[in-house]
Amino acid sequence: MAYLTPRKRATGMGSAKSGVAHFWNMKVSSIGLLILVPLFVFTFGPALGSSYEEMVAYYQHPFPAIIAILTLGVGFMHFKNGFQVLIEDYVHGAAGQYSIIAMNCLCYAAAATGIFSIIRIAL
Amino acid sequence: MADVNRGNRPLSPHLTIYRLPITAITSILTRITGNALLVAALMTVWWFLAAASGPEYYDFANAVITSWFGDLVMALSVLGLWYHTLAGVRHLIWDQVIALDIKTAESLSWLVIIGSVALTVLTWIIMLIA
């Protein structure tokens, strides 16, 4: 450590030991969802409650299927990062870390399950 | 320290006695709606998974999601989704260091509340027609 200058140690670290990656991630995914969410609401909404044959036929069209895949993928990643901030603000110590890890597992699992299901219906 | 008056001093603004300004209410609602959307998101994934599993399981999941309970969750989630979306747009505006003065921030708070209710009503009208 003695050979490391204070400048070198501080470069790229910021006051929180990391940069604005999390903030930037939320911002980019929020803009993505701003486009996807209205498209998803008005494609998914009418399909909800339809019969099995109607539903499968509807999601074999590329547009509603691609919108649903993107919304679940981007949405769950946005949720994962947002939930992390909630926990960091209110839950401290080991309990907070376990909550964030558990929610990471749930979000990736839910996104993968949803995307797999839509692809299986569509193909 | 014996003559310090401990009973008649001004209180600091504590959450239990402080009337929250509209900007504070809309701020915490952004967080609440965002995190509450997990319920509807998981129900949606379950609905897709059921459809991928076959007609029998789809009919079960579809019946649950369109029951009075499912309708209630979805109706509240549409409101939460539009609210979170509009509140997110407000954050994107604030990130550009504009509309940060108190008067504009309060107007935007009401715009988010009224806008999300209006979009929810509009969504349900479109769904009922479609």
* Mutation choice for A interface testing from B31, B48, B72, B86 by most A CBs within 10 A: B48
Please report whether residue A63 resides in a domain.
yes
- Mark yes or no for CB contact A49/B66 under 8 Å: yes
Which residues of chain B neighbour A57 with C-beta distances below 8 Å?
Answer: none
pLDDT in tens, A24-35: 999 999 999 999
Tell me what the mean pLDDT of segment B43-55 comes to.
95
Domain count of the fold of chain A: 1
Task: Provide the percentage of residues in chain B whose pLDDT is more than 70.
Answer: 93
Please report whether residue A18 resides in a domain.
no
Neighbours of A40 (CB within 10 A): 20
Query: And the tokens for B56?
Result: 């029998």
Please report whether residue A13 resides in a domain.
no
Write out the residue range of the structural domain in which residue A111 sits.
25-122
Query: What domains are there in chain B, each with its CATH number?
Result: 22-129 (1.20.1300.10)
Query: Whole-model pTM?
Result: 0.86
* Mutation choice for B interface testing from A34, A36, A41, A66 by most B CBs within 10 A: A41
* Predicted local distance difference test score (pLDDT) of residue B72: 94
- ipTM entry: 0.85
Please report whether residue A7 resides in a domain.
no
- Mark yes or no for CB contact B62/A49 under 8 Å: yes
- Mark yes or no for CB contact B95/A48 under 8 Å: no
pLDDT in tens, B83-114: 999 999 999 999 999 999 999 999 999 999 99
Tell me what the mean pLDDT of segment A79-104 comes to.
94
Shortest CA gap A10–chain B (Å): 26
Query: For residue A74, what are the contacts with CB-CB under 8 A and spacing of at least 6?
Result: A29, A32, A33, A36
Displacement of CA A30 from its chain's centroid (Å): 10
Does the structure show a pLDDT above 70 at A18? no
Query: And the tokens for B54?
Result: 């076959």
Reported as half-sphere exposure (CB side, CA atoms, 13 A), residue A76 has a value of 24
Q: Average pLDDT of chain A?
A: 91
Task: Provide the percentage of residues in chain A whose pLDDT is more than 70.
Answer: 92
- Mark yes or no for CB contact A83/B78 under 8 Å: no
Does the structure show a pLDDT above 70 at A1? no
Please report whether residue A20 resides in a domain.
no
Tell me what the mean pLDDT of segment B74-82 comes to.
95
Query: And the tokens for A62?
Result: 């590329």
- Mark yes or no for CB contact A44/B123 under 8 Å: no
The Cα A49–Cα A51 span in angstroms is 7
Among B45, B59, B65, select the one facing A114 at the smallest CB separation. B45
**For residues A19 and A12, is the Cβ–Cβ distance under 8 A?**
yes
Residue reference for tokens 């009075």: B68
Please report whether residue A17 resides in a domain.
no
The Cα B88–Cα A83 span in angstroms is 15
Shortest CA gap A113–chain B (Å): 7
Please report whether residue A1 resides in a domain.
no
Tell me what the mean pLDDT of segment A98-117 comes to.
97
The Cα B85–Cα B34 span in angstroms is 9
**What amino acid occupies position B85?**
T
